[in-house]
């Protein structure tokens, strides 16, 4: 059995020994021949050793992991949101953007569905639903109701420039699912959830003990010496307090908000909250709202819902054509139609992902009012599912903006 022991540390690698050598060398260079006794009994050397000990302790306090400086003492957790440090599972939460996401959505939200297989082609999603064993005895019309609910569920989570093709009920056992990383619906890998440390360690870094307390008792009661040492106390205690205040210095809700930290968060998230001469408060609000903005960044309108009041309208070109008729260049394109007084360029930068080709159409007031009525008729046709009305209103939309 291999013997276990504590390895002896060489004196030359000790930080205190390094301070001792450097400080004595500095004193020798500064004092010249005036000070010649550097042995331990000299009062000056005693003061030097006490100060070196204080510096060594300060180095110890500054050498903890970053988590320890950010941990809240009451909860034992890092207040990520107050510092704008949004974990990726929150930053990208609940985004349904892939075929696998929709398959999991159907299984989790529809109790009768044991498995779902989706195919995406030409901007259309086709889904096959496989029923659970407990749903073998089904009445006529049940399948039709399930198809309607699956279609409604899809449209509630529909991505921009994509739409629903066909929902069918599969026969027999579902085919084997392709291999995927185990993850929850919001996209957070389960492994990351299991291994995330639940608590961190808070360190009382700001606590400070005066260097005078480490001097021999024979130095007590000397007001000149105490005043001299207060200079070092001020510097050392200040450094410890600054380290302890790291969590507060990064608090984006504090006054004043640290502008440099917001710039760092811009780089971290690939955003630019400096645009349009925003105030620090506005930049802070945008950082906090990033999870909700990212959740909606790919989301389009639900065709079953009437359009809400807005200063702009989104027209996805794919929806203006019957299946198979849309030119390939129109599949990932949309038009943002707005009245001429709206800053549409800013809307595009904030709202749409980069892979969507966006055309801006600014209309004078009279044309905007006419388009608004046409748009509502088109949305009503989509919600009603009448193919002839959809075709007629889509043709009018194309003639007006494309």
Asked whether 66 and 247 are in contact (CB, 8 A), the reply is no
Q: What per-residue confidence (pLDDT) applies to 12? A: 57
Residue of 185, 199, 212 lying closest to 101 (CA atoms): 185
Question: Do the beta carbons of residue 320 and residue 149 sit within 8 Å?
Answer: no
Strand 313-316 to 163-169 pairing:
unpaired
Residue pLDDT, tens place only, 162-213: 999 999 999 877 777 554 433 444 444 433 334 444 567 888 888 898 998 8
The angle that helices 99-109 and 142-156 make with each other, rounded to 10 degrees, is 130
Relative orientation angle of helices 43-61 and 15-31, to the nearest 10 degrees? 140
Neighbours of 322 (CB within 10 A): 10
- CA max distance for the chain: 108
Q: Judge whether 255 and 244 are in contact, CB under 8 Å.
A: no
Helices vs strands, H then E, count in the chain: 15, 6
pLDDT at 51: 92
Q: What is the pTM of this model?
A: 0.56
241, 247 contact by CB (below 8 A): no
Question: What torsion, rounded to 10 degrees, do the Cα atoms 98, 104, 108, 113 define?
Answer: 120
Q: Which of 112, 130, 142, 220 is nearest to 169 (CA)?
A: 130
**Ramachandran area for residue 3 (φ above 0: left; ψ -120 to 50: alpha; else beta):** beta
86 and 291 in contact (C-beta within 8 Å)? yes
pLDDT tens column, 23-75: 888 888 888 888 878 887 888 888 899 999 999 999 999 998 888 888 888 88
Question: Which pLDDT value is given to residue 11?
Answer: 59
Give bridge partners of residue 334 from the DSSP assignment: 316, 358
Cα(230)–Cα(245) distance, integer angstroms: 22
Give the angle 305-307-308 at the CA atoms, nearest 5°: 110
Give the pLDDT of residue 286: 83
Identify the CATH homologous superfamily for domain 99-185.
Answer: Cation efflux protein, cytoplasmic domain (3.30.70.1350)
Where along the chain do its domains lie?
12-64+204-246, 99-185, 305-401
Alpha carbon of 231 to those of 49, 211, 226, 227, 237: distances in Å? 16, 10, 9, 7, 10
Q: Tell me what pLDDT residue 94 has.
A: 55
pLDDT at 326: 92
The two tokens of residue 253 are: 């809700």
Given a cut of 70, the residues of the chain with pLDDT beneath it are: 1, 9-13, 88-96, 133-141, 177-199, 276-277, 295, 347-350
């Amino acid at each position: 059995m291999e013997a276990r022991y504590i390895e002896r540390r060489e004196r030359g690698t000790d930080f205190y020994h390094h301070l001792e050598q450097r400080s004595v060398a500095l004193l020798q260079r500064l004092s010249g021949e005036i000070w010649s006794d550097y042995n331990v009994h000299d009062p000056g050397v005693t003061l030097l050793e006490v100060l070196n000990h204080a510096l060594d302790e300060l180095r110890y306090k500054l050498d903890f992991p970053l988590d320890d400086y950010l941990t809240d003492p009451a909860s034992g957790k890092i207040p990520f949101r107050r510092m704008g440090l949004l974990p990726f599972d929150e930053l990208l939460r609940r985004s349904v953007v892939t075929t696998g996401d929709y398959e999991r959505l159907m299984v989790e939200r529809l109790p009768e569905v044991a498995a779902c297989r989706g195919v995406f082609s030409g901007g259309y999603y086709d889904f096959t639903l496989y029923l659970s064993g407990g749903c073998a005895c089904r009445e006529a019309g049940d399948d039709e109701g399930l198809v309607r609910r699956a279609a409604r569920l899809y449209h509630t989570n529909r991505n921009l420039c994509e739409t629903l093709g066909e929902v069918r009920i599969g026969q027999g056992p579902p085919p084997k699912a392709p291999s995927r990383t185990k993850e929850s619906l919001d996209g957070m890998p389960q492994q990351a959830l299991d291994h995330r440390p639940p608590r961190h360690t808070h360190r009382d870094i700001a606590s400070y003990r005066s260097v005078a307390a480490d001097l021999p008792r024979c130095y007590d009661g000397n007001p000149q010496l105490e005043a001299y040492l207060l200079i070092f106390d001020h510097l050392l205690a200040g450094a410890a307090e600054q380290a302890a205040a790291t969590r507060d210095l990064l608090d984006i809700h504090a006054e004043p908000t640290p502008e440099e930290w917001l710039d760092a968060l811009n780089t971290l998230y690939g955003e630019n909250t400096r645009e349009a001469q925003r105030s620090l408060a506005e930049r802070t609000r945008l950082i906090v709202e990033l999870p909700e903005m990212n959740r909606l960044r790919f989301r389009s309108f639900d065709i079953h819902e009437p359009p809400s009041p807005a200063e702009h309208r989104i027209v996805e070109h794919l929806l203006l054509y019957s299946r198979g008729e849309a030119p390939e260049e129109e599949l990932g394109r949309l038009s943002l139609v707005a009245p001429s007084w709206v800053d549409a360029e800013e809307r595009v930068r904030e709202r749409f992902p980069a892979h969507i080709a966006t055309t801006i159409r600014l209309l004078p007031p009279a044309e905007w009012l006419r388009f608004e009525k046409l748009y509502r008729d088109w949305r009503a046709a989509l919600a009603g599912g009448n193919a002839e009305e959809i075709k007629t209103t889509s043709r009018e939309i194309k003639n007006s903006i494309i």
